[in-house]
Amino acid sequence: MEQRDYWNTDVEIPVSVPIRRMSKKELRRKKRKIYIGRVILCLLTFVLLVLAALLGISATINYGPSESARDLFVMTVMETSAAKPLATLFFSDEEIQKITQANTYVAPKEITNTDLIEIPDASNTDEEFDINKIEVFDVTGATYKGKMMVVNDPSRVIVGTSGTYGSSYAGKTVQDMIIENGGIAGTNGGGFEDANGVGNGGTPLGIVIAGGQLKWGSTTKTYEVIGFDSNNKLVVGNMTGQEALDMGVRDAISFGPILIVNGEPTEVTGSGGGLNPRTAIGQRADGAVLLLVIDGRQANSLGANYGDLINVMTEYGAVNAANLDGGSSSLLVYNNEVISTCASLYGPRKMPTCIVVKDVQSDESEGGQVE
């Protein structure tokens, strides 16, 4: 039997080591490292989720649910200055060009035949017809909602301007220009440069005629003219500044496309544009002016394409109609209140021109109350 030597001094006896407590500074440093690590982990997870989502979106756009949905996506973002890079993220320049060419419109070559418009004489008209009446109707479609304003008296519709143009000026809001011109209602007008990308611009794109005077543009250059002549008839079509003045155009701006000319709708191919906020102007055979604003980029209203505008304008009897600046500029004002949904992140934009409906009380001629 083996005997143990309990008195062997070579056996190591464990010695207790005192535990050093961490200082408050060291604890804070350790907690900070843990916090930073968790933040980095969360960020990496978020980036991975975003990449996965983008891959999923890319696959959906490229391979389904349909080519029409793909085309609609491309056309929508290509019409939005801030979102254009999204199209190039998923498609090559050649693919984008092919899609845009398949989903466009054929610009009409005709100019308004003003003989098709017969404005009734207010003194001899039917008692049921109120020349001073303004009506606002709700319009809806599969992808949009908006409002149609009908102004019976076209002489009250003019182009409002910010007064001074140029890159050093920011322009004015639609509401401000309406008030300055003695108006009761109005919409945004022609296109303009937004050099800083913040929704403001004092430099018009195209021509501006107000009160029979050329305010911006050239007499020799050709523009897509949208305006009213001295007989208060809506004139739309391509012409030089001098041709517009020779036709007696009193107020005009530029944008497009032209939607209806002399009762003939513009030919649209494919989707005819993307789904975006829209503004359009038209005129019925009896002279009544149609102001259409479609809400867009909203959960309950994605927007409309050019085909939708043509359909709505046709439904309301437009003989001539044209698309005005849209997107974040689209705005409808009545009684100094915005009655449409503004899509701009910065609120109502400042711009160089707008469409103004003058208040009857500001006219020199006598008239009834606006309804």
Q: How far apart are CA 157 and CA 105, in angstroms?
A: 28
E-strand ranges in 141-247 read: 145-151, 157-161, 172-173, 183-188, 192-193, 203-204, 208-210, 213-216, 222-229, 234-240
The model's confidence at residue 367, banded by pLDDT at 50, 70 and 90, is very low
Domain boundary among 102, 131, 166: 102
Q: Which two tokens stand for residue 278?
A: 């829209």
Q: Establish if 345 belongs to a structural domain.
A: yes
Q: Establish if 292 belongs to a structural domain.
A: yes
Q: Establish if 252 belongs to a structural domain.
A: yes
Same domain, 62 and 122: no
More confident residue, 145 or 195: 145
Q: How far apart are CA 318 and CA 325, in angstroms?
A: 19
Domain with 233 in it: 107-362
Q: Which two tokens stand for residue 43?
A: 């960020």
Write down the pLDDT at residue 369: 36
More confident residue, 15 or 312: 312
CA–CA distance from 245 to each of 34, 241, 341 (Å)?
74, 6, 35
Write down the pLDDT at residue 211: 96
Write down the pLDDT at residue 68: 80
Q: Which residues contact 306 (CB under 8 A, 6 or more apart)?
A: 105, 257, 259, 266, 268, 272, 273, 323
Q: Which two tokens stand for residue 190?
A: 């022609």
Q: Please state the separation of Cα 360 from the chain's center in Å.
A: 30
The stretch 275-299 carries a mean pLDDT of 97
Please give the share of the chain, as a percent, with pLDDT higher than 90.
56
Domain boundary among 72, 102, 132: 102
Instruction: Look at residues 160, 161, 159, 138 and name the one whose alpha carbon lies nearest to residue 149.
Output: 138
Same domain, 112 and 158: yes
The model's confidence at residue 137, banded by pLDDT at 50, 70 and 90, is very high
Q: How far apart are CA 261 and CA 264, in angstroms?
A: 5
Same domain, 207 and 246: yes
The model's confidence at residue 364, banded by pLDDT at 50, 70 and 90, is very low
Between 93-102 and 67-78, two packed helices, what is the crossing angle to 10 degrees? Answer: 100
Same domain, 172 and 88: no
Least confident of 187-196, 300-309, 357-366: 357-366
pLDDT tens readout for residues 9-29? 555 555 555 655 667 677 677
Neighbouring CB atoms inside 10 A of 214's CB total 17
Write down the pLDDT at residue 75: 87
Q: Establish if 369 belongs to a structural domain.
A: no
Q: How many structural domains is the chain composed of?
A: 2
Write down the pLDDT at residue 370: 39
The stretch 205-225 carries a mean pLDDT of 97
Q: Establish if 367 belongs to a structural domain.
A: no
The model's confidence at residue 258, banded by pLDDT at 50, 70 and 90, is very high
Q: How far apart are CA 219 and CA 239, in angstroms?
A: 10
The model's confidence at residue 79, banded by pLDDT at 50, 70 and 90, is confident
Same domain, 168 and 290: yes
CA dihedral 354, 360, 361, 364 (to 10 degrees): 90
Least confident of 81-95, 175-189, 225-239: 81-95
Q: Which two tokens stand for residue 10?
A: 């070579």
The stretch 97-113 carries a mean pLDDT of 90
Same domain, 89 and 122: no
Same domain, 165 and 220: yes
Write down the pLDDT at residue 160: 97
Same domain, 82 and 142: no
The stretch 236-262 carries a mean pLDDT of 97
Q: Establish if 368 belongs to a structural domain.
A: no
The model's confidence at residue 242, banded by pLDDT at 50, 70 and 90, is very high
Same domain, 92 and 111: no
Domain boundary among 42, 77, 102: 102
The stretch 337-357 carries a mean pLDDT of 92
pLDDT tens readout for residues 150-177? 999 999 999 999 988 988 888 999 999 9
More confident residue, 39 or 110: 110
Q: Establish if 320 belongs to a structural domain.
A: yes
The model's confidence at residue 49, banded by pLDDT at 50, 70 and 90, is low
Write down the pLDDT at residue 340: 96
Residues 205 and 195: beta-carbon distance below 8 Å: no
Instruction: Look at residues 265, 313, 283, 300 and name the one whose alpha carbon lies nearest to residue 137.
Output: 313
The stretch 32-45 carries a mean pLDDT of 78
Q: What is the pLDDT of the chain when averaged over all its residues?
A: 86
Same domain, 174 and 211: yes
Q: Please state the separation of Cα 82 from the chain's center in Å.
A: 11
Residues 153 and 137: beta-carbon distance below 8 Å: no
CA dihedral 209, 210, 216, 219 (to 10 degrees): 40
Q: Which two tokens stand for residue 41?
A: 């982990």
Q: Which helix (H) or strand (E) holds 350?
A: strand 350-351
Q: Which residues contact 82 (CB under 8 A, 6 or more apart)?
A: 197
The model's confidence at residue 371, banded by pLDDT at 50, 70 and 90, is very low
Please give the share of the chain, as a percent, with pLDDT higher than 70.
83
The model's confidence at residue 366, banded by pLDDT at 50, 70 and 90, is very low
Q: Establish if 5 belongs to a structural domain.
A: no
Least confident of 6-10, 68-72, 325-329, 331-335: 6-10
Q: Which residues contact 322 (CB under 8 A, 6 or more apart)?
A: 224, 226, 236, 255, 256, 257, 258, 259, 280, 281, 282
Q: Residue 301: pLDDT above 70?
A: yes
